[in-house]
Structure 1
Amino acid sequence: MSTMQKTDILIIGAGPSGSSAAALLKQKGYDVTIIEKQHFPRFSIGESLLPQCMVFLEEAGLLDTVRDHVEECGFQFKNGAAFLKGKKRSFYDFTKKFSEGPGTTWQVRRASFDHILAQQAEKMGSDIRFGHEVLAVNVEPEQPILTVKTEQGETYQIQAKFLLDASGFGRILPKHLDLESPSDFPVRRAVFTHIEDGILDDPEFDREKILITVHEKDPRAWYWLIPFADGRASFGVVAEEDFFEKYGFDGSSDYDVAALQRRILADDEALSHVLRNAKFDTPVRTLVGYSANVKHLAQRNYALLGNAGEFLDPVFSSGVTIALKSSSMVVPLVDQYIKGENIDWMEQYEKPLRAGIQVFRAYVEAWYTGEFQNVVFSNHQENNVRSMIASLLAGYAWDQTNPIYKNAKKRLSTIAEYCREDQ
């Protein structure tokens, strides 16, 4: 093992939270090293960005990079969310939201999106080491140490003044430091793929919105359809395990999940009509038990970003927003810490970050209980209520001026009751 290497900031993972944190830290003049196990571009879900993301991308100096690649990468302009359940249709226009800030964004292939962010972080001076795997973590010294293995089998140690975990579903620090905490969400499975959607001149389909469809026979299950600008789309279905078992799914690795997905689609007449000309030409993947939590998000010399800390559910596409928000919040605190200031990580980072996550959680939970579905498909929503909900769906979950921010769960329940009475 070679002599100990040194850097100012170590980041595990080069996804959106890692690349944005690196860009922000380079703005402040720090040496940044990112350890990334995979090589980019690589497949990832979470393809429907929320407008709140635009604020954080611009802050990190990454927004122009995304704009420059919109046409090349087939990123689809997005201005809202549409909902479908049988004959019921609804949509929210994010430009008519309550909160200040951008009302539009893009739907992106994450392989391309994450790659261009990482490339820009490199151009800004970050050292990204692709194909390097974290073997061990030591946060006992004042400056944490990682033991890393290269693809050639060589190992080395690297030490930093601060450590950020942006490893997403890899959850490196939670696993190495025993930070895992069970999620109180039911175990759900996502079955997903990319398709040629074949949707041409359909007046009832808006490519500028993500389409969320509630399964007609079981409202606990739902489908996402995220169109890209080149006639392709991301398509997936999410439900609890017993839902898939009714279709004969046994959870084995050799099960034909492509046939499973097609059978589930065929059981929904409305969505089947939307995708009547689709070509399913890409391998189908599945992910189960993805909801996760941790005992804490930060300590004196390390912090968790995005999905490495907590992942809720894909239903409202909050993952990338939470990832970018966490980077935006943590970097000024890291800067202060390195300059010798005392940081109360619970009060200054964890509580404010979780405050917005709890707002997201309130309407994710309400979606699965059916309360939020009642709101979405109600024909009697007042415009001010629609604008408040549009803000949440657009990612502005940290906007304390939005009346729905405070006691979000109770307020959503009240709105749902009102909508039920008028249906």
Structure 2
Amino acid sequence: MGAIQQTDVLIIGAGPSGSSAAALLRQKGYQVTVIEKQYFPRFSIGESLLPQSMVFLEEAGLLETVRTHVDECAFQFKNGASFLKGKQRSFYDFTQKFSEGPGTTWQVRRADFDHLLAQQAQKMGADVHFGHEVSAVDVESAHPVLTVKNEQGQDYQIQAKFLLDASGFGRILPKFLDLESPSDFPVRRAVFTHIEDGILDDPEFDREKILIAVHEKDPRAWYWLIPFADGRSSFGIVAEQDFFEKYGYDGSADYDLEALQKRILADDDSLSHVLRNAKHDTPVRTLVGYSADVKHLAARNYALLGNAGEFLDPVFSSGVTIALKSSSLAVPLVDQALQGQPVDWMEQYEKPLRNGIQVFRAYVESWYSGEFQDVVFSKNQDEKIRRMIASLLAGYAWDTSNPIYRNAKQRLSTLAEYCREDLHREPQTDGT
């Protein structure tokens, strides 16, 4: 197997959390090695960035490389979110938010976006190994050791002073170290693809916003439509398995997912009208049981970043934001540890990160309970409330000055009750 290779920080995964962590560490002068199983560019969902992400990309020195490739990669300018349910429509403009910070971002093909970030991390000096797969993990000694299989199928070992797991849904450390903890979210399935959307001059469709559409007959199910700048879109359907079974899908591997997606779309008049000219020209994929959690996010010589630690749900596009936030929080602590200073990973990393995740969790749960749906479609929101909600939807889940940050679940429930009262209020005899 040869001599054990050495590095300062070893990162598993070259997605957004891995590349941003590598860039931040290179800014501090550390030797960084990244192990990535796949070859980039590679397909991934999670294409609708949130404005909060722009802060973290700039901090890592990655924002400019994205900005300079916007036209080449057909990244779509994004300034908000639109909602659709039957004849009900609503939208939030992220520039009209409560929190300070950017109010715009992009909707991106992740294959291009992730590749750009990884390439920039390489230019900054990170050593990225594509096509290399982790086959064993040893964190018992002070300096963790990975056994890795290279492109030729040969094993080698590499030791680091600190280990970061940015493996996303691969969840390398949770699997090898028995850290996985079941999510308390119901098991849901996503069925998704890219389409030529055919949306031309539709006054009711805004390419500068993600469209989240509630299924007219089952509010537990929803669609995402994420436009790119070249007339194409990411299109997905999310629901629990029993919803898909109503359309004949039993989860079998050889099922015609494109036909399934078309049947479900056809059963929703409003969204079918938006996509009346769409061409389905890309293989449809599915992902089930993606929500995940872990027993802890960090220990003395390793930490979990992004989806490797916890993934909630795709409904409000929080994945990339959480991934980048985790790198932003973790890297200064890695630096602190490598400088021989004590680090309280629970107090300094896990609790702060999970505080924001809990805010995201509150309105994901509220969405599926129907409460947040009542809020977004309500016509009875004053401007202050709208600005607070816009901040959450824009990814500012760590803004402690936002009143909704404190006890978010209860505040959203109270707001939903108010909106429901307005929805069912009987009209007055004078017509008001």
Same fold at TM > 0.5: yes
Aligned counterparts, 1:303-314, within 5 A: 303-314=303-314
- 1:314-337 superposed Cα distances (whole Å, 9 cap, x missing partner): 000000000000000000000000
CA distance in 1, matches of 2:416, 2:145: 50
Match of 1:175 in 2: 175
Match of 1:186 in 2: 186
Match of 1:258 in 2: 258
CA distance in 1, matches of 2:389, 2:240: 26
- 1:341-376 superposed Cα distances (whole Å, 9 cap, x missing partner): 111100000000000000000000000000000000
- 1:181-226 superposed Cα distances (whole Å, 9 cap, x missing partner): 0000000000000000000000000000000000000000000000
Match of 1:35 in 2: 35
Match of 1:85 in 2: 85
Aligned counterparts, 1:12-411, within 5 A: 12-411=12-411
Runs of 4+ aligned residues of structure 1 deviating over 3 Å after TM superposition are: none
How much has 1:153 moved relative to structure 2? 1.1
- 1:287-339 superposed Cα distances (whole Å, 9 cap, x missing partner): 00000000000000000000000000000000000000000000000000000
CA distance in 2, matches of 1:234, 1:131: 26
Secondary structure of residue in 2 paired with 1:91 = strand
CA distance in 2, matches of 1:85, 1:348: 41
- 1:412 to 2:412 alignment: yes
How much has 1:250 moved relative to structure 2? 1.0
Secondary structure of residue in 2 paired with 1:160 = strand
Secondary structure of residue in 1 paired with 2:92 = strand
How much has 1:245 moved relative to structure 2? 0.5
CA distance in 2, matches of 1:79, 1:146: 42
CA distance in 2, matches of 1:26, 1:2: 27
CA distance in 1, matches of 2:230, 2:251: 33
CA distance in 2, matches of 1:159, 1:141: 10
CA distance in 2, matches of 1:258, 1:2: 48
**Aligned partner of 1:339: which letter?**
Q
How much has 1:249 moved relative to structure 2? 0.5
**Aligned partner of 1:217: which letter?**
K
CA distance in 1, matches of 2:2, 2:387: 58
Secondary structure of residue in 2 paired with 1:350 = helix
CA distance in 1, matches of 2:153, 2:370: 51
**Aligned partner of 2:398: which letter?**
W
- 1:220-276 superposed Cα distances (whole Å, 9 cap, x missing partner): 000000000000000000000000001110111001111000000000000000000
CA distance in 1, matches of 2:253, 2:154: 32
**Aligned partner of 2:196: which letter?**
E
**Aligned partner of 1:253: which letter?**
A
Secondary structure of residue in 1 paired with 2:320 = helix
Question: Where does structure 1 lack aligned partners over 5 or more consecutive residues?
Answer: none
**Aligned partner of 1:410: which letter?**
Q
**Aligned partner of 1:311: which letter?**
F
**Aligned partner of 2:205: which letter?**
F
Secondary structure of residue in 2 paired with 1:95 = coil
**Aligned partner of 1:399: which letter?**
D
How much identity, in percent, do the aligned residues show? 83
Secondary structure of residue in 2 paired with 1:404 = helix
How much has 1:403 moved relative to structure 2? 0.1
Question: Where does structure 2 lack aligned partners over 5 or more consecutive residues?
Answer: 424-432
- Paired residues in the alignment total 423
CA distance in 2, matches of 1:374, 1:265: 22
Secondary structure of residue in 2 paired with 1:73 = coil
